[in-house]
Amino acid sequence: MRKASILFVWWFIGMMTVQAQLVRTADMVVHDPVLMEEKGVYYLFSTGHGISVWSSTDMEHWKQEAPVFDQAPQWAVDTIPNFKGHIWAPDIYYHEGTYYLYYSVSAFGKNTSAIGVATNRTLDPSSSEFGWVDHGRVIQSYPDVTNWNAIDANIIEDDHGNAYLSFGSFWDGLKLIRLQDDRLSVAEDIATMPTIASRKKNSDDPNPPAIDDNPVDAGGNAIEAPFIFKKGDYYYLFASIDYCCKGIRSTYKMIVGRAKTVEGPYLDETGRDMAQGGGKILLAGDQRWHGVGHNAVVTIGGEDYLIFHGYDAEDGGKPKLRIERLDWGPEGWPEVKH
């Protein structure tokens, strides 16, 4: 065999090995995904042991990277009983040369929860500057003390450069609080945080009862996973309602409202306040996808994309990565472009 032929064989074997390591978007099993682009490479972070990380150059074929944490942060172990390092719902945010990765640690079905943050100078694992530095707890919730749940963090800057943390799941709904300039701690009194979205029509109403096998402690105020995105003159608040994490029994769906300021109020297309049960349905499940939610929104190449997971009824109800184009209707409301 000639040298050129031998080189081709080795090249072909190498390419097949690389392809075998890649996973297509349609086959990606992820939960609570969020996406950030750096120098032409897309990095996806999701719920997982130590926070799952994937990279891609085309948003279609993905390589799994090492998790953010190779062992559970000690502060989280000390905070959450029996915590083993399974970290929820990351959010990635870039500010003045630094990437901030917010994440949740929690006891399932209880508001024994906290949001932490780690920083990095780059998302490229091959860079000499790469290395996650954990800064610990940003905010914490406590059973029978706080009527909110410190999970599902999302960061948004206002037009003045102030950073706000939105978060929440069940209990009293979704909350909003301003962060310190260093983005590592809160700058306001947690006792006076507003509720920016809830399924209750009146804030004084008791939570609806839990349904099916859902934890009683959380009640039935089934809303979580806020994501605030600035588009034109409005801040758009996306949220997930109803129930995740049940495979083909999941009923997750996405709602949206908008406001002229980060603080709200966030209103739907009929003028209903999301804090009082409002919210325009953006996307619901269908025959294949039994529950779609926990979305992020990202702008890539001038186009807006909805990043989320759905439970695939054609594959045993596994949560799969979904990436869909977002269009904006004549009245400025987001629409999923299929």
Residues annotated as catalytic are 32, 224
DSSP characters over 138-180: EEEE-TTT-SS---S-EEEE-TTS-EEEEE-BSTT-EEEEEBP
Close Cβ partners of 204 (under 8 Å, ≥ 6 residues apart) = none
- Which CA distances in Å does 205 have to 110, 194, 196, 199? 20, 16, 16, 10
Sign of the dihedral defined by the CA atoms of residues 74, 215, 147, 297, in that order: positive
Longest dimension (CA), the chain: 81
Q: Which two tokens stand for residue 123?
A: 């998302």
Q: Which of 95, 108, 86, 81 is nearest to 36 (CA)?
A: 95
Strands of 289-300's sheet, edge to edge? 289-300, 303-312, 318-328, 334-337
What is the residue type of 315?
A: D
CA angle 113, 115, 117 (to 5 degrees): 155
| For the chain, counts of helices (H) and of strands (E) | 2, 22
Scan for tokens 């074997």, then name that residue: 13
| C-alpha to C-alpha distance for 63 and 81, rounded to whole angstroms | 33
Backbone angles phi, psi at 79, to 5 degrees: -95, -40
Helix (H, G, I), strand (E, B) or coil at 190: helix
| C-alpha to C-alpha distance for 100 and 231, rounded to whole angstroms | 22
Strands 61-65 and 52-56: antiparallel
